[in-house]
Structure 1
Amino acid sequence: MINRFRNEKNKRGAIKIEKKAINILKNILKDEISAFAFTFSFLSRINFGFYKPELLKKSIKYIPLFSFVSGGIIFVSYYISKKFLPHPIPEFLTILIQYLLFNYFHFDGLLDFSDAFLSHKKNREDILKIMDDTKIGSFAVLVGVIYLLAKIELYKSLLPQNTKIIIFSFSAGRLGILASSFLFPKPAKSEGLGYIFLSAGRKTFLLPCIIIFSINFYFFPYETIFSALSSAIFGFLSLRRINGLTGDVLGAICEISEIVFLTTNFVIKSAQF
């Protein structure tokens, strides 16, 4: 009788432990899914309702996954559209989808960066003031138009021959954000998205940076190297001019890293003929 009672007690204890373990695993899984969803909310216009700053540090490790999943979405959209539409309509649609869903804020950063850094202002506060200004200046218009025209031409030239490059050029942009944040982890301001992102800490950026660099380098070695170098150069320029990075600077670096990746591939392909 005593043994039976003990067995029942042990069984109930084991069930309680099992339930606790399951609940712990559920909470961990929920937190990780929330962190991954937050990556989309923070780095794109796809909002899953998980925009919580406390998830930022945990979400950074998912940037490689975000990069290749998002690049895959753009890849699929181009692949489907080129089956039904004549060239170059799929390339225009791909640019439109990419910027509506993923690159809109980064492109806005490029415009603000262009206005501020191409101005004749030397003072740090004046440069930051221009970047914070909601008005679009002449330098922003000039750089924005040239950038989009160049990217459209690169897509028209490269995508029909090697569609997968769109995945890796997209991830190269996010590698640029991670690399510059790791190399120059100092925020230029004590507020804003750049400050929030950089507050995750330098070490947080290292592993996802290595992951994207390794995958991209395997498929596109020269493109990856030059793209990463461009992010380091513009990150250093920002450090010298405004004593750190901002959200606009990181957005600009993302766009610059993408187009350097594509341009390098175009030069390599052209040299082979």
Structure 2
Amino acid sequence: MRQIREEWLRFLLALQFLTRLPIALKDDEFSPERLESSTRYYPLVGLLIGSVAALAYYLCALALPAPLPILISTAASLLLTGAFHEDGLADTFDGIGGGLTREAALNIMKDSRIGTYGTAALVTILLIKVFTLSALSLPLAIGALIAGHGLSRVSAVMVMVTSRYVRFEGKAKPVASDVGTKGLVFLAAFTALILIGLGLTGWSLPLLACALVGLIAGHVLIRLFYERKLGGYTGDALGATQQISEIGFYLGALAWL
């Protein structure tokens, strides 16, 4: 029971960190160690966010024409997360696009104001998301939303596993640590469950393979974009990784159809 409680608290910390849900924890229920290890539950939180987005899409699709259901679904996910990852995407593009040096890029990324590069990237990504999901059938779009949100969080955590945090402080500093063997086991298990779930709901192997190729391509391309200049990652870069990986998953699925 003690171990179950520990895992539950880690999940709640992940939910608190990645969403705007009013999760209240007592002082003795929080610890830096628990917060660091909560990264193992990021994919599960992603599944919950994707499920909310999918439910909003399904309910709106019963009465509204495309692309309104996807627009409302996207708005629902933005409200649930407080545009946490989208903010990271915009800051990353502002920093990398506007900073001539590593230090300049990091300083720009700390600025709460959004610039031209960030605005263009954010608008483009949201438009791609809306039009890509609108082009999928209702069952495929629902599966893609749930799986895309979950797997893209796996993609973001893998950056933590394979790269280094380049700030002494920042919004990702509390969780920027070694994920550990147990954390990797959790990530592998969540990934397997998501893929099995897609297979059981009618996704063919070629469709699934194309979607995964798209996600991996998005992961690699966005890391090439920011790691060359930063020499590692920041919290904003993790948000950018999640967003581009998610979009890559949707585009890969659409490319097969």
Bin of the TM-score, shorter chain as denominator length: 0.7 to 0.9
Corresponding residue number in structure 2 for 1:213: 191
1:84 match: secondary structure = coil
Corresponding residue number in structure 2 for 1:14: none
RMSD: 2.2
Q: Which residue identity lines up with residue 120 of structure 2 in the other structure?
A: L
CA, structure 1 residues 208+30, in 2 after alignment: closer, same or farther (shift >3 Å)? closer
Corresponding residue number in structure 1 for 2:111: 133
CA, structure 1 residues 115+90, in 2 after alignment: closer, same or farther (shift >3 Å)? same
For the residues of structure 2 that align with 1:194 and 1:229, how far apart are their CA atoms?
24
Number of residues of Structure 1 aligned to a counterpart in Structure 2: 242
Asked if the contact 1:217–1:225 (Cα under 8 Å) also holds between the matched residues in 2, the reply is: no
| Aligned ranges 1:67-106 → 2 under 5 Å | 67-102=46-81, 104-106=83-85
Q: Which residue identity lines up with residue 101 of structure 2 in the other structure?
A: N
Corresponding residue number in structure 2 for 1:251: 239
1:236 shift after superposition: 4.7
**Structure 1, unaligned runs of 5 or more:** 1-24
Q: Are 1:34 and 2:9 counterparts?
A: yes
Higher RCO by CA contacts (8 Å cutoff, separation 6 or greater): 2
Deviations 1:156-200 (A, max 9, x none): 11252512111111112212112222121x101011122222224
For the residues of structure 2 that align with 1:204 and 1:125, how far apart are their CA atoms?
35
CA, structure 1 residues 141+98, in 2 after alignment: closer, same or farther (shift >3 Å)? same
Corresponding residue number in structure 2 for 1:191: 169
* Structure with bigger gyration radius: 1
Q: Which residue identity lines up with residue 55 of structure 2 in the other structure?
A: V
For the residues of structure 1 that align with 2:160 and 2:82, how far apart are their CA atoms?
18
Q: Are 1:45 and 2:28 counterparts?
A: no
For the residues of structure 2 that align with 1:89 and 1:241, how far apart are their CA atoms?
38
Scaled by the length of structure 2, what TM-score is found? 0.84
**Structure 2, unaligned runs of 5 or more:** 199-207
| Aligned ranges 1:89-168 → 2 under 5 Å | 89-102=68-81, 104-119=83-98, 121-160=99-138, 162=140, 163-168=142-147
CA, structure 1 residues 142+31, in 2 after alignment: closer, same or farther (shift >3 Å)? same
